Structure 1
Amino acid sequence: MLLEGKTVLVTGGSSGIGAAAAVEAARQGADVAINYVGNQAGADAVVAQIEALGRRALAVRGDVAKRETAIAFVEAAVAAFDRVDVFVSNAGICPFHAFLDMPADTFERTMQVNLHGAFYMVQAAANQMVAQGDGGAIVAVSSISALVGGEFQTHYTPTKAGIHSLMQSAAIALGRHGIRCNSVLPGTILTEINRDDLADGEKRERMAARVPLGRLGEPEDLAGPIVFLASDMARYVTGAALLVDGGAFVNLQ
């Protein structure tokens, strides 16, 4: 029960990595609030899973690209659970597109959701943690794409590099308040974000073959690392980035 008695907030918590992290946090003893934008059925299912584990759950709808969403999410969680101990910044999009004819609105929306949204959410959570006065943990879901390029991800990879950098700088800014800030860098994980891209069976097999552990990732593969970084087991870990990619990044030869 690594998070027993804690309150955990997760953005993008209605599916994929966010949902897996939210349910695992509850399994580890936490009450959990999730943010979601459109997947009402998914949010309801995650709330039901958390409550089935005997923990309290809350789902708050809102677009992370808007600063007011971050403030409202944190305020709703505090009203329900009194405090914020752990914040997981996970919400993100990746509408795959070629570079030379990238529409401006596709680029801007990706930046707003992935990077601006992470900044606003982390800032709102950090302010609440500072007000509480007893520290906390922030974990952001970056990506292996923070470290490598992608032909159809020229709008996406900069946001993930930005999230990685945000956690490094926030670790410095918030360390004096006892708030730890770390990121996880998943490889290719089977989620909604890449469902269309991986619909090509040949491409999917080719990508899996590049992974030393022999398979693409599942959302649950991220839940454990996120819980670890959020827990007191990682009490001296801040400003770190943990690759969770089955070894794909090191397999260059």
Structure 2
Amino acid sequence: MKRLENRVALVTGGNRGIGEAIVYRLAEEGAHVAVNYPWDTMREQAEAVVRNAEALGVKAVAVRADVGVKAEVAAMFEQVRAALGDVEILVNNAGVAPFESFFKLKEETWDRTFNTNVKAIFLCSQLAAETMAAKRYGKIVNVLSTASLVVTSPVIPHYQSSKAAAHMLTKGMAIELGKYGINVNAVGPSTVDTDLCADYLADPEIRRKEIEANPMKRLGTARQIGDAVVFLASEEAMQVNGHLLMVDGGLSVKAAQPEDHLER
């Protein structure tokens, strides 16, 4: 029997990159999956992910919502419930990381980053936890970052602040929701070679420095993040709660060297 057989999962930002890989890993383990995407322009992309997930033998559905807006989140959960059932596994993956240094950082960039990276976790988790608590079962996994623990670049202070806040939110939810049988955990990737990082990693020198800075001397893959999410969503992790599982090759425990900090 597969580890997540017939469980219902929702992956925010599941239409591309790490989110897409998470969708496929959940589907491979037997979970029915809702693929969230933020804008109508990404509908075809999300529907392609749905078709690929269905080819793995599960049910899947694409659901549009800006996960930083409460009304849209509520509508999304109703759509998922109608199509697949109550959400039992919530993966808060949606995130943004625009490059802006401290003196150039705009208020709207700060607000958009916190809405997507922190507020969305709160909104989605609050709704998911209502039905999870009633069933005395649920798994919430937040996709965070090496930046949740250490400063990874001098040009993303808003991103690092949001991921640190999301880390504390993960811990707070774990303590409050644990008594309802809900596990709340997180995974922390370092730089992952996906389309979202394509422009950044297109510079051969930046790619070389990212690889050299990592103790494993390689970039992470989206599938590796999916593997970690599957573990935290499985019965194998029933007693794991409030934990940030770093999937960063050891980068967050390595003392930084000057060449680790890359400016654009």
Structure 1 counterpart of 2:119: 116
Q: 1:227 aligns with which of 230, 233, 256?
A: 230
Question: Deviations 1:148-195 (Å, cap 9, x if unpaired)?
Answer: 112111010111111111110001111111000001011111234433
Aligned partners of 1:135, 1:52: CA distance in 2, in Å? Answer: 28
3-state DSSP of counterpart to 2:90 = strand
Flag as ranges the 4+ runs of structure 1 deviating above 4 A: none
Q: Which has the larger helix fraction?
A: 2
| Structure 2 SS opposite 1:190 | coil
Measure the CA separation in 1 of the matches of 2:96 and 2:30: 29
Task: Provide the residue aligned with 2:260 in structure 1.
Answer: none
Query: 1:246 Cα shift?
Result: 1.4
Normalised TM-score (structure 2): 0.92
**Which residue is equivalent to 1:148?**
150
Name the CA distance, whole Å, in 2 between partners of 1:176 and 1:73: 26
Q: Identity of paired residues, percent?
A: 40
CA distance in 2, matches of 1:217, 1:119: 27
Q: Give the RMSD, CA atoms, in angstroms.
A: 1.2
- How big is the shift at 1:124? 1.2
Distance (Å, rounded) in 2 between the aligned partners of 1:97 and 1:41: 30
For 1:187, the aligned partner's letter is S
Matching residue's letter, 2:14:
G
- Mapped to 2, the partners of 1:128 and 1:72 lie a distance apart of 15
* Structure 1: distance between partners of 2:196 and 2:71: 24
**5+ unaligned residues in a row in structure 2: which ranges?**
257-264
Could you say which residue in structure 1 is the equivalent of 2:36?
A: 35
2:18 matches 1:3: no
Partner deviation per Cα, 1:168-225 (whole Å, 9 max, x = no partner): 0001111111000001011111234433222221011111112122211111110100
Spell out, residue by residue over 1:216-248, the C-alpha distance to the aligned partner (whole angstroms, 9 max, x if none): 111111010000000000010000110001122
Shift of 1:250: 2.3
Aligned to 1:215: 218
The equivalent residue for 1:67 is 70
Aligned partner of 1:97 among 88, 95, 100: 100
Correspondence for 1:195: 198
Residue 201 of structure 2: SS of its match in structure 1? coil
Task: Provide the TM-score with structure 1 as the length reference.
Answer: 0.96
State the one-letter code of the partner of 1:15. Answer: R
Gaps of 5+ in 1: none
CA distance in 1, matches of 2:109, 2:202: 21
CA–CA distance in structure 2, aligned partners of residues 114 and 195 of structure 1: 20
Residue 93 of structure 1: how far off its partner (Å)? 0.5
